[in-house]
Each structure stands twice: as C-alpha cells, then as structure tokens.
Amino acid sequence: MTDPVRLAKRLAELVPCSRREAELYIAGGWVTVDGQTVEEPQFMMSQQKVELRPEASLTPVEPATMLFHQPLDADPAQHPICAATRAADDLSGIHLLKQHFARLTQCAPLETNASGLVVFTQDWRVARKLTEDAATIEQEYIVEVAGELSPKGLKRLNHGLHFNGRALPSIKVSWQNETRLRFALKGAQPGQIAHMCQSVELQVIAMKRIRLGRISMAKLPPGQWRYLMPHERF
C-alpha cells in the first residue's frame, strides 16, 4: 500500500507537467479518477487510475453566466441552476463544471409575478453591467391581458402614464395578438407593468420577459438554462 497523495502531485508525475499545470487541468474538469471527473487538486488518492482527457486545455476557468427560463410556478426554495436542468441544446460548447454553480448572483429581477428570462452569474463584470446600467438596458415582456382597451389606451401606454408619483418615460407598447401586448421598456420598476395596464382598464393575466438588452430567451424551455456564450453581450 502506498501513502495517499494529492491528485495534483500524482498527475504532475504521470503527464508529466508542473504542479501548477496539473492544478489547472484538474480545476478545468479534464482529469478522471477511476473514470469519475474530479475537480479538486487537493483530492487525496492512492491506487486509483488517473487519466487526463485527450482534449484537455490549460486555459484557466472563466466565471460563468447562465440564462434561465423561470417558470411562473418556480419554487423559490429550490435553486434552479444545476447539472440536471441544463438545456440539451445548449450550443455554447462550455465544459460544465461543478464550480460554475458556486457563488452565483441573480441579476435584473423579473417584474412582479412574472416568468421568463433570468440571469445568474459569477462574473462581476456582468453583475455590474446589469446593476449599474439597469436604467438604460431595455427589457421586453409579453403581457397577456383581459379587458377592453379604449381607442386612446394604447397611446397612453406608450406615453402619458404616472407611477409612484412620477411621469413614466415613453416606452414601446404594441399588440402581439388579440390578447397579448408587447412591452419594451427601460428601467422597469416592480409592479410598473401591472399598474400601467390597470390605468387603461386592463387586467394582467400573465407576463413573461423574453429579452434583456441584446439577449433573447428564444426557445429556451421553461425550467432549463444555458450558458451565456463568449460573444454574447447584454
């Protein structure tokens, strides 16, 4: 029997490579121990079989950002981002790692009682963008309504309403079909869309955010997420 050693040390001997390179390989999810991926360089092992995947890269792991389609009935006590809820058609090509699920920050909260696109990130640059530029990043909602809109109602929705004692800036509101309105607005405040609809005698049945800045939810299934691709920007 041999004494247990750190996985990074054993890998450095097998490849061979430096200890730092071994740690990068392991943290990147490129190393298996008896066929199971291990991402912790300090993992203690003895006689197990260690293998480095042929496509292994020494590129440091970048902080991850995930786009999640939050269902209306989402359980707030259950974290939606995990390996099991990744969309099957995620085209990002990003190698899924356990460390991507640590220290995630939810940004740009949804309108009250809404479903749709939600952002979780480890990247401070994304978090700062969505926080500091919230007033200038356009959000798009599809709002299902009931009631009869007066001939001037659509014009009032686009410009002429007040919320929380202040005049609302001009926004873009149009009919998507006979029961759904499309809202494109910046600096949305909680409860604003429902208040606007009530002001023109419409009742909100449901609302879904389908776009945040330049990022669209597209065909992401409810309850599933995908990685933000390297070229995508809010």
Report the pLDDT value the prediction gives residue 139, as an integer from 0 to 100.
96
**Residue with tokens 């390179």, as numbered in its chain:** 21
pLDDT at 36 over 80: yes
Topology of the domain covering 5-52: 3.10.290
The single-letter DSSP state of residue 83 is: G
- State the average pLDDT over residues 116-138: 95
> Which class is 65-134+215-227 in CATH?
alpha beta
Tell me the CATH architecture of domain 138-212: 2-Layer Sandwich (3.30)
pLDDT at 115 over 60: yes
Predicted model pTM: 0.84
Domain definitions of the chain by residue range? 5-52, 65-134+215-227, 138-212
What is the rounded CA–CA span in Å between residue 181 and residue 188?
16
> How many helices (H) and strands (E) in the chain?
5, 16
Phi then psi dihedrals of residue 169, to 5 deg: -70, 165
Q: What angle do CA 89, 90, 91 make, to 5 degrees?
A: 100
